[in-house]
Structure 1
Amino acid sequence: MSGSTGTGGGRRQGDLPRGLSDFVGRTAELAELVKLLDVVPLVTLTGVGGVGKTRTAVEAAHRAADRFPDGTWMVELSELRDPELLPHTVAGALDVGDQSTRPLPDVLADFLADRRCLLILDTCEHLARACAALVTELLDAAPGLRVLSTGRQPLDVPGEHVVTLAPLPVPAEGEEAGAGAADYDAVRLFTARARHAVPGFAVDASNRAAVARLCRRLDGLPLALELAAPWLRVLPVEAVADRLDDRFQLLARGPGGEPGRHVTLRTAIGWSHELCGPAERLLWARASVFAGAFDRRAVLEVCSGGPLTPLRIPAVLDRLVHTSILLEEGEGARVRYRMLDTVREYGARWLRELGETGELERRHRDFLLAEARRAYSCWMGGRQIEWYERVLAVHADVRAALEHCLGDPAGGEDALDLAGALWFFWYVCGFQREGRHYLERALAAHTKPGPPRTRAAWARGLITLSQGDLGASAECVEICRTATDPVARTAAAFLEASELTLRSENAAALAILGDLELDPRRGGVEEAVWLLERGVRAFAHVQLGSPAEAAALAKESRVRSAERGERCLQAWADYVQALAELALGRPGAAVAHGRSALERKLPLHRDTWFMALCLDVLALATAGTGEAGRAARLLGVGERIWRTHGLAQLGAPELAAAREACERGLRAVLGDAGFESAHSAGLRATHEQGIALALGETTASTADQDR
């Protein structure tokens, strides 16, 4: 993915895959798409599987980029199966936190309302109804928004303009031997891909007829051509064309005696399947169980067995990459593999015919469960960024495993176990709404008390607290309180105390926390509470007007966390220390701790509610150091985030009162017009610009506002 920071208006430019340097053909279609995106709110690019819809959409977006000063975003939907998570996926692509209890389509509409931008929804056919509903709502709210969707069918939304992508032009029968055959787009594409497989490959008089015949037989379908090209490593082009002829004569005759294009693609994939050896076919089928990209270790644990021994799998993987059945991404230890949808669908069909689907789904689930349990036990250590990245990399497969568990009448406990073990991913890493979605379904599906249910209730309680939904938090307290496992009492007490601090019942919260007897050696929830409770006590003392006690507790929390290499709770302790320093009349120290808190969380920057808290305290501290203009802009950046979150300052009255007092003081210094100007600049700032401002980076264009 490639992203950049905007210039026009200072907006973020979005995320769009790099275009292909050797993109072939589609001149007329691209010109039409670019023209339509100027004037039509919704353009849908349709066509059969393998016709190149995604690549054409990306190329069109690059060519139209200058028309969208507020950015272009690509939302890949092929890995998504649950239509309820469509808004979450779009929000993730836009880097809009999904953390509040507001309807997420409303949050997205607010974000896009005043932007001139392009949103690509790629591979919509399996979510057509959900995509249609969301697109309709977003376009109604955002007049400057353009949507380019791709799929095998239109979305059927009023005002939609459909562009159907045909296969690439191929030489007609009788034109194969002519020199002009090499100028057809299908031949040009096959030649380009063949050169990747066999460097130096060229179309000349000796092979021109065979290449043209091959392209015509494959109906000019780009994916079919790309699957055929790698076989030139082991077969001459004439043999590839002859074998395709034989296969089509046997298997691919459609109505009227001509190969239908859907049949063409299936036949081309099936031909590649036939050319694979037995081990490659088996691994192809088994690896289709992965919803997203996967690494070699995942393949070894999920797909080994029978002839696919652990020692044999690496070589089989390499052969599937060489034949383009698997696409390889990354380098070295970070190499991951993925399948295109149509290739995965073919493998899944063979897996069903082998009778292994149920077994592979169970092994896939068990692999994800084992990963989640390891992450749960290791999260409080010094590898949080690594674990965040590891879980993020398998996010699509976590979803698939949860759906598998929740769809199995006997899988409720596994769903609780998986969703609860990933509490840190949902809560700390900014996926609150999605986590709550799965946790609530799992808690409803399996009501038997035990450690998995306690962990899931704890995770849901943390999320609902961050959303300000105190009623739902109280439900989680009750679930934990009625459980009998050793961690349940700790989880219940911590959630109840945290809820009380948000209700400004701080003395009661301190009493509950003071009664806790914690053993961090138990790990998981117990260790998390052992590290968290000092920070929560410090927060309560700040609100009670005891800043010295708060500062001491925050320091102790920070030291404890640092000893373990834990960064997220260090960030919370730094934030509370900043509040305490403010109350002690030391705004410079408050600035230092506020920035430290933000820096510690930046690798997990989707945690936007925490970023907003840090921006608020930095605004107060910056005002205290005399930088009124910067403080007003920081208030604006924070307000933009709180608007998205939907509950400013998490509903804590003392925090809201401090922010209001800061605004009044800044208006007195800057005047109403000066405050509004600086505050509006903060509201318009990008995520990156807000962070830079908070961390003390001042540009020439903002220096005059600090006086």
Structure 2
Amino acid sequence: MDVLSSAPVSAESTSYVGRAQEGAAIRRLLGQARLVTLAGPGGVGKTRLAARVMRDSVRAFEHGAVFVELAPVRDGALVANLVADRLGLQDRSDASATRIVIEHLRHQTRLLVLDNCEHVIDACAGFVAEILAECPRVVVLATSRQSLAVAGERLVPVQPLPTADAVRLFLDRAAAIWPDAVDGEAARQELTELCRRLDGLPLAIELAAARIRSLSPAQILDRLSGRLTLLTTGPRLAPPRQQTLRATIDWSYELCTPSERTVWKRASVFAGSFDLDAAVQVCGGGDIAPGKVLDLIDGLLDKSVLIRHDEQGTARYRLLEVLREYGHEHLTSDGEQDEIARLHRDWYGRLVTLADEEWLSRHLYWIERLTREHANLRAALDWSLARRQEAGVALAMASRPFEYWLLRGLSSEERRWLDRALAAAAPDHPARPFALCVAALHALWQGDHENLGRLLDEVEQLAAAGTDEELTARILHIRAFAAMMAGGPESVDLAAEACAIFRAHGLVRAELHPLFIHGVSIAYRDRDLATARRLLSRMNAVATEHGATFYQAMSLFGLAVVEVEFGETDAAAEAAAEALRLDVLAGDLHGRAYRIDTLAWIATRRGEHSRAATLFGIAATVWDRIGTSPDFAVAIPHRRHLKRTRQELGDARFDEAFTAGRLLPDEDGLRYALDERAPEPEPAHGEPANPLSPRETEIAELVAEGLTNRDISTKLVISPRTAETHVQHIMTKLGFHSRAQIAVWSVSRHTELI
């Protein structure tokens, strides 16, 4: 089972109180319906309930569960992109994000949790409808302030907590602040009345409990009572429970110092979470001295307005969506929205500029950091593109560092931002030529030749009007890459010319990919292995000197390709394996697919055809995750080696080994590709280590009993094909080649246990 994404930190950062019956009912409903929506007002506890249900239900789903927070997304068109990202999928094709998710989930049994759908309700409804129609074993659990109105939806209204559970929640939160805050029967009676007056709304209770350090339950009740009475006796413009929550938030806001209120409303421009550096730049200023921002954040944490969690050793903060909306109302009504949003955009603009400047030597750090800030990058780009005079800033932001978007598998998303910015920015904006080149590279990576031609035509017109040699070299690079992908011999000369210009201008990073193209292309065109080795070795030396892991892996891949095709298989295997290790370090799924496929070619050349077929299967799973295929860039060697492997094994044996590779979990597949043994766990109480899963162990025992695959399928109520695949998987893990070896292993294991 693979639980890809757990609930958000804020959902499990404190103990869970109540809702046991509701949780059990929802879990039963997930077994009967494929779309269950938890509906209710903000602050009623939908996210916590969904997170707990997911945690308690995950074992019922073979492929696990994924929790997708939608609150940070402002644009419904990005819903599918966010889901793809949480599933670990990368987008390198011209297929839509929805299509990539569907193809990944089509044969999976998985729980998909979509949290906070209301602000992108139409996009969510359309996306969920397609998932339900094409992925028959996927179940969706949604939270929203309104229904999705999708056929088959089961709506579960989430009610406030009963008074007893509300009191328990208050006591739990208060005890973490002031253990003896509620002492005596009188205090408990006042607390019961307070929770009743708060309508059992969890967020309202948590906000009230945050005041327990300075106020008793009676004092909290006294201060809230006037406001609640006023609301319930005045015009009822909102449902009573929403009035209660609003009153509690109003009260929390008024109990903040003026400076804390300012930080609260300014922090509402952040999408998702933010760190202290961002808070100082965006929330400081005016009467808020930068050195005071941390103290004010501490105050908001004490009042349960902000939530803190740590990522990679750095504290990050976030507002619950209801509190973010409240703060944003005040920011807008005070006329500060554009000013603070511009500060937010400028901060993230500087961040991507710094990332681009440091990319070559620190790209692993920047991949992690920009990934954490991706929701804020989206918000900054969206704000800029909503104002035509700011489109040029968006154009520059969306273009750099372009490798970040590529390595994250976000080609379609970057193209979308670039298309919008190119359409809105002035034709003579200085960022336009480079942005066109980046858009052209993404079009090429995605096989979109129609738009590639249009983009190249425009950038070549700009180049013709000036004398920018760097721009000329970038165009040569793109032309060389396109020619190499098409098998055109002109790629050699185009790449060589681009390299010469970049080298003359000292543009190390820009020269690296053209060096790869030059080296691989000259091997194929001229069979000039010596020159290919020299070029690719130079690329590797330069990348290694600068700590550029991404380009190191690329250079080693180039060496592996030319060696397996025209040179020595041992050298190819060494280069491909080292490239794969670097891909894992960089989180580059695209590179991983190419390297594992290349290792399959090497196995074919060595005559290790069963291993080759298994490697082709492992690679196929990765190709699926990035939404493309080897036919896109390495079609000729891939098809040739695949054909030979199938011929040598025959269809039945090839399919068996290929399927076994396809079913290997990621870590097992990597170990197999690198020819590494799985780490053996420490035996418990003298029990011998077992590398098999419980299901595989069960099947191994049935093999030892002499059952055939069909017998096993009947006994375990699975298909014969699945049983056959499990047996092949067991052989792969144990390094065996026959059922007899499995039987001996199983019997000897039981003997050791006795």
**TM norm structure 2:** 0.86
Aligned AA (2:146): Q
Q: Counterparts of 2:265 and 2:237 in 1: how far apart (Å)?
A: 30
Displacement after TM superposition at 1:316 (Å): 0.7
Q: Secondary structure at the match of 1:44?
A: strand
For the 8 Å contact 2:444–2:482, the answer to whether it is kept is yes
Aligned to 1:15: 5
Aligned to 2:45: 52
Is residue 670 of structure 2 the alignment partner of residue 680 of structure 1?
A: no
Q: Deviations over 1:461-489 (max 9, x none)?
A: 22122212233223333333222455321
Is residue 613 of structure 2 the alignment partner of residue 632 of structure 1?
A: yes
For the 8 Å contact 2:40–2:46, the answer to whether it is kept is yes
For the 8 Å contact 1:75–1:93, the answer to whether it is kept is yes
- Taking structure 1 as reference, are residues 99 and 331 closer, same or farther at Cα in structure 2, changes over 3 Å only? closer
Aligned AA (1:228): A
**Counterpart mapping for 1:291-302 below 5 A:** 291-302=271-282
Displacement after TM superposition at 1:625 (Å): 3.6
**Counterpart mapping for 1:78-89 below 5 A:** 78-89=71-82
Aligned to 2:479: 496
1:465 to 428, 440, 444: 444
- Taking structure 1 as reference, are residues 610 and 564 closer, same or farther at Cα in structure 2, changes over 3 Å only? same
Aligned to 1:604: 586
Q: Secondary structure at the match of 1:57?
A: helix
Q: Which structure exhibits the higher relative contact order, with contacts defined as CA atoms closer than 8 Å and separated by 6 or more residues?
A: 1
Q: Deviations over 1:5-44 (max 9, x none)?
A: x2xxxxx332222774731111221111010111101000
Displacement after TM superposition at 1:698 (Å): 4.2
Is residue 259 of structure 2 the alignment partner of residue 276 of structure 1?
A: no
- Taking structure 1 as reference, are residues 310 and 486 closer, same or farther at Cα in structure 2, changes over 3 Å only? farther
Aligned to 2:555: 573
For the 8 Å contact 1:46–1:154, the answer to whether it is kept is yes
Query: For structure 1, which segment, 501-510 or 275-284, has the greater mean C-alpha deviation from structure 2 after superposition?
Result: 501-510
Query: For structure 1, which segment, 502-511 or 52-61, has the greater mean C-alpha deviation from structure 2 after superposition?
Result: 502-511
Displacement after TM superposition at 1:431 (Å): 1.1
Aligned AA (2:541): V
1:123 to 97, 111, 116: 116
Q: Secondary structure at the match of 1:43?
A: strand
Displacement after TM superposition at 1:122 (Å): 0.6
Q: Deviations over 1:562-601 (max 9, x none)?
A: 1111111111101001012212442222122112112212
Aligned to 2:711: none
Aligned to 2:718: none
Aligned AA (1:539): V
Is residue 571 of structure 2 the alignment partner of residue 589 of structure 1?
A: yes
Q: Counterparts of 2:369 and 2:115 in 1: how far apart (Å)?
A: 24
**TM norm structure 1:** 0.92
Aligned AA (2:545): E
For the 8 Å contact 2:480–2:490, the answer to whether it is kept is no
Identity %: 34
- Taking structure 1 as reference, are residues 431 and 625 closer, same or farther at Cα in structure 2, changes over 3 Å only? same
Q: Counterparts of 2:472 and 2:228 in 1: how far apart (Å)?
A: 67
- Taking structure 1 as reference, are residues 542 and 428 closer, same or farther at Cα in structure 2, changes over 3 Å only? farther
Q: Counterparts of 2:617 and 2:64 in 1: how far apart (Å)?
A: 21
Displacement after TM superposition at 1:447 (Å): 4.4
For the 8 Å contact 1:633–1:681, the answer to whether it is kept is yes
Aligned AA (1:553): L
Aligned to 1:455: 434
- Taking structure 1 as reference, are residues 156 and 363 closer, same or farther at Cα in structure 2, changes over 3 Å only? same
Q: Secondary structure at the match of 2:388?
A: coil
Q: Counterparts of 1:567 and 1:649 in 2: how far apart (Å)?
A: 22
Q: Counterparts of 1:14 and 1:41 in 2: how far apart (Å)?
A: 20
Displacement after TM superposition at 1:117 (Å): 1.0
Q: Counterparts of 1:451 and 1:575 in 2: how far apart (Å)?
A: 35
Q: Counterparts of 1:103 and 1:547 in 2: how far apart (Å)?
A: 40
Task: List gaps (5 residues or longer) in structure 1.
Answer: 1-5, 7-11, 171-183
Q: Counterparts of 2:309 and 2:583 in 1: how far apart (Å)?
A: 27
For the 8 Å contact 2:167–2:191, the answer to whether it is kept is yes
Q: Counterparts of 2:407 and 2:238 in 1: how far apart (Å)?
A: 56
Displacement after TM superposition at 1:650 (Å): 5.6
Aligned to 1:374: 354
For the 8 Å contact 2:37–2:147, the answer to whether it is kept is yes
For the 8 Å contact 1:467–1:650, the answer to whether it is kept is no
Q: Counterparts of 1:337 and 1:515 in 2: how far apart (Å)?
A: 45
1:615 to 564, 571, 596: 596
- Taking structure 1 as reference, are residues 333 and 103 closer, same or farther at Cα in structure 2, changes over 3 Å only? closer
Aligned to 2:707: none
**Counterpart mapping for 1:360-399 below 5 A:** 360-381=340-361, 383-399=362-378
Q: Counterparts of 1:602 and 1:147 in 2: how far apart (Å)?
A: 31
Q: Counterparts of 1:648 and 1:77 in 2: how far apart (Å)?
A: 30
Displacement after TM superposition at 1:81 (Å): 1.0
Aligned to 1:562: 544
Is residue 493 of structure 2 the alignment partner of residue 510 of structure 1?
A: yes
- Taking structure 1 as reference, are residues 201 and 694 closer, same or farther at Cα in structure 2, changes over 3 Å only? farther
- Taking structure 1 as reference, are residues 329 and 256 closer, same or farther at Cα in structure 2, changes over 3 Å only? closer
**Counterpart mapping for 1:297-312 below 5 A:** 297-312=277-292
Query: For structure 1, which segment, 193-202 or 99-108, has the greater mean C-alpha deviation from structure 2 after superposition?
Result: 193-202
- Taking structure 1 as reference, are residues 185 and 675 closer, same or farther at Cα in structure 2, changes over 3 Å only? same
Displacement after TM superposition at 1:254 (Å): 5.6
Q: Secondary structure at the match of 2:37?
A: strand
Q: Counterparts of 1:399 and 1:511 in 2: how far apart (Å)?
A: 36
Q: Deviations over 1:635-691 (max 9, x none)?
A: 012223334545423634xx3222222223323443321111010122223333332
Q: Counterparts of 2:239 and 2:75 in 1: how far apart (Å)?
A: 34
Q: Secondary structure at the match of 2:270?
A: coil
Aligned AA (1:66): R
Query: For structure 1, which segment, 612-621 or 503-512, has the greater mean C-alpha deviation from structure 2 after superposition?
Result: 503-512
Aligned to 1:209: 189
Aligned to 2:402: 423
- Taking structure 1 as reference, are residues 206 and 594 closer, same or farther at Cα in structure 2, changes over 3 Å only? same
Q: Deviations over 1:239-290 (max 9, x none)?
A: 1111111222334546679971111111111100011011101111111111
Q: Counterparts of 2:94 and 2:655 in 1: how far apart (Å)?
A: 29
- Taking structure 1 as reference, are residues 347 and 650 closer, same or farther at Cα in structure 2, changes over 3 Å only? farther
Aligned AA (2:471): A
1:410 to 372, 389, 396: 389
Aligned length: 678
